[in-house]
A and B are shown apart, each in its own frame.
Chain A
Amino acid sequence: MKPRMKHIARNVLMLLVCLLIGLIIALQLKNVQTGRQANLVNNASADELREMVADLREANANLAEENEKQKNNLRELQNSQENTDIRVQQLRDEIQRLEIFAGLVEVQGSGAIITITDGQSNKVDGSMLLTIVNQLRAGGAQGIAINNQRLVAMSEIQTTGTPPNTNIVINGTVAGSGNGIYTIRVIGDQQVIHSTYDMMSATINYYLLRGIGIQIDYLDTVTLPALSADSPAYRYGEMNSTESN
């Protein structure tokens, strides 16, 4: 019996050694694989970092240039400190620049008009217009108006009422007097508007399938009205600017 036990012990030992080797080889293969994956991940983040550095470099160069311009501007202001006429003119220029940016004056430029109309059973809702406006801004739109309401910093696009009697309110006014036709006028680079519009095709098709009409026309001259003086945004702005003075 004794030699037999010894025999079994030997076989078991051999089996264990074999198992150990097998295990190590298997582990090794697996490690090589994950090692490759880990390297890929690291390379991706290195590329990302490189891109971030490049982006920041560009932003820094632009900002440095802007600051130089602004310093010159300040020097001019200081030099003309005594000359009232020049100072008044400079102020007027600055006010006009702000008014253009803020949407307080009527402006013209090249761009597009997007016309959206209610379908038979589906109405256009505010969030749809909001999405389109946001996309247009992302595409570098410099000025936008919907149905003669200029969109300024504090303009809202709100759906009011209960379905099916809903309305879209913009700048405190029912857009298009509730006729279901919405005209988005946009001034900006036409090529960029075009590619933005193409990128929205999935959204647009979704609405087209629901019977809502969407059409875009590119025009060399698009006119945007000034923010109307009776809109809440205008009134609040006036109130707050006199308060802070």
Chain B
Amino acid sequence: MLKLIKRRSCWRPERQTPAEPLLQPESDRQRQQREERSRVAYKYLLALLLLLLSAVLINRFHILRNQVQDAADVLTPLTQLQAQLKQEQEQYQTLLNEAQELARQEVSLQDQFLANQDLLQEADQDLARQLAFSRMMAGTVEVKGPGVTLTLSDAEGIDYSTATAEDIIHDQDVANAVNALKALGAQAIAVNGERLTATSRLICNGPTILVNRTKLAAPFVITATGDQAVLLAGLKENQRLKELKDGGKTVRIEASAELVIPAFNDQALMDEAENSLKVRTE
């Protein structure tokens, strides 16, 4: 404004009209208008956001419903499979019981026959003893008597999602314990009710241990008949068992007054051995 005045060719007195201030204090009316505008804008923005929120919420609800549906879709075959599994397991148990019953019948038929000694020639008198011995050595006869129960289990209360190989019992640990019992002169040994024979495998199978043809899970209960005092003392002295115990794993050694070690009765596994082992004829 000052520059402009200077450039003027002729001087005129300054106009007396007061210069409009650049920022006029807003009038009440103006303020009211502005606030009104801002309120409206705020309302629209809020409405928009709430709309977005409800859209997201609706979407979320749909996804949740889909997930529930998906879960149901996954669960239906799972429950069906569970039912099938249960049915097959029951059938397996029935067939196994039948197999044991048949084996018992065979044994009693043979024993009946052998009891009738006058039918036998002198040369055959030894058959009963041979049969009893070979049954015992093959493990196809139930053994009852005093012995020990050795329980091996993973460290108590471990969290399997974070457990390391050091926290769990391995096939090697069970194999070593079984070998120790054999060295101590055990008569008959079973792991979780699976009788050990000359061809018994005892090997890691994922989270389970495969013994003969059965998958076993921890705790592993090893039962052995024999000289109880010798077995107990030997197990208590066993270095490997001590190491397992020091490593936090469950190692329980108990005396059992009357153990029953079940008979091995897998005819198919015996057939396999018979087919590949040929008796040498001199």
Interface residues of A, Cβ cutoff 8 Å to B: 3, 10, 13-14, 17-18, 20-21, 24-25, 28, 31-32, 35, 38-39, 42-43, 45-46, 49-50, 52-53, 56-57, 59-60, 62-64, 66-67, 69-71, 73-74, 77-78, 81, 84, 87-88, 91-92, 94-110, 127, 130-131, 134-135, 137-138, 140-143, 151-158, 169, 187-189, 223-224, 227, 232-234, 236-238, 240-242, 244-245
Majority SS at the chain A contact face: helix
Q: Which of A38, A46, A101 has the most chain B CB atoms closer than 10 A to its own CB?
A: A101
* CB-based nearest A residue for B74: A42
How would residues 189 to 200 of chain B score, 1 for a CB under 8 Å from any chain A CB and 0 otherwise? 100000011111
Q: Tell me which residues from 195 to 219 in chain B have a Cβ below 8 Å from any Cβ of chain A.
A: 196-203, 210, 213
Chain A-chain B contacts (Cβ-Cβ < 8 Å), number:
260
Q: A98-B135, A103-B198, A142-B273 are in contact. Are A158 and B183 (CB under 8 A)?
A: yes
Query: Which of A109, A130, A141, A154 contacts B278, CB < 8 Å?
Result: A109
Chain B residues near A13 (CB, 8 Å)?
46
Q: Is B81 an interface residue (CB 8 A)?
A: yes
Contacts of A108 in B (CB 8 A): 277-278, 280
Is the CB–CB distance between A70 and B102 below 8 Å?
Answer: yes
**Which residues of the partner chain A approach B171 to less than 8 Å between Cβ atoms?**
134
A98 to B85, CA, bound (A): 34
State whether A187 touches B70 (Cβ < 8 A).
no
Check A134–B203 contact: CB distance below 8 A.
yes
- Scan B89-116; emit 1 where CB is below 8 A from any A CB, else 0: 1011001101100110110011001100
Known contacts A28-B63, A109-B277; is-contact A67 B99 (Cβ 8 Å):
yes
Q: A84-B119, A236-B187, A241-B133 are in contact. List 13 more A-B contacts (CB 8 A).
A: A14-B46, A43-B74, A56-B89, A60-B91, A60-B92, A63-B95, A67-B102, A70-B267, A78-B109, A153-B138, A237-B133, A240-B143, A244-B141
The segment from B2-10, B16-24, B52-60, B152-160 found at the interface with A is B52-60
Cβ-closest chain A residue relative to B197: A153
Secondary structure class of chain B's binding surface, majority of residues: helix
Chain A positions within 8 Å of B127 at CB level: 88, 91-92, 95
> When the two chains form their complex, are residues B53 and A17 in contact, meaning their CB atoms are under 8 A apart?
yes
User: Which residues of the other chain, A, contact B136 by a CB distance below 8 angstroms?
Assistant: 237, 240-241, 244
A17 with B179, Cβ < 8 A, contacts A43-B74, A88-B120 known:
no
Contact A49 B82 (CB under 8 A): yes
> Are A101's CB and B273's CB within 8 A?
yes
Q: Does B257 contact A (CB under 8 A)?
A: no
Could you tell me if A87 and B113 are in contact, using CB atoms closer than 8 angstroms?
yes
**15 pairs from A and B in contact (CB 8 Å cutoff):** A24-B56, A24-B57, A35-B70, A42-B71, A42-B74, A66-B268, A67-B102, A70-B99, A77-B110, A105-B280, A134-B171, A143-B199, A155-B198, A234-B137, A241-B133
The CA of A32 and the CA of B189, in the complex, are separated in Å by: 52
Partner of A59, one of B49, B67, B109, B213: B213
Using A46-B78, A64-B95, A103-B137 as known contacts, say yes or no to A56 and B176 having CB atoms under 8 A apart.
no
- Decide if A74 touches B273 in the complex (CB within 8 Å): no
Chain B residues lying within 8 Å of A91, measured Cβ to Cβ, are 110, 113-114, 127, 131
Instruction: Known A95-B130, A143-B273; judge A102-B85 contact (CB<8 A).
Output: no
B200's nearest neighbour on chain A, judged by CB, is: A137
On whether the beta carbons of A155 and B182 are closer than 8 Å, the reply is yes
B74 lies within 8 A of A69 (CB): no
Question: Which of the residues B35, B85, B175 comes within 8 Å of A3, measured between beta carbons?
Answer: B35
Residue B279 at the chain A interface, CB threshold 8 Å: yes
Residue in A closest to B123 when the chains form the complex, CB atoms: A88
Contact with A along B43-85 (1 / 0, CB 8 A): 0011001101100110110010001001100110110011011
State whether B278 touches A53 (Cβ < 8 A): no
User: Which 10 interchain pairs have the tightest Cβ spacing?
Assistant: A156-B183, A102-B137, A98-B134, A107-B277, A56-B88, A138-B203, A102-B138, A156-B182, A241-B136, A49-B81
Q: Is the CB of B45 within 8 A of A14?
A: yes
Residue of A nearest to B109 (CB): A77
Q: How many whole Å from B226's CB to the nearest CB in chain A?
A: 8
Whether B105 pairs with A74 at a CB distance below 8 angstroms is yes
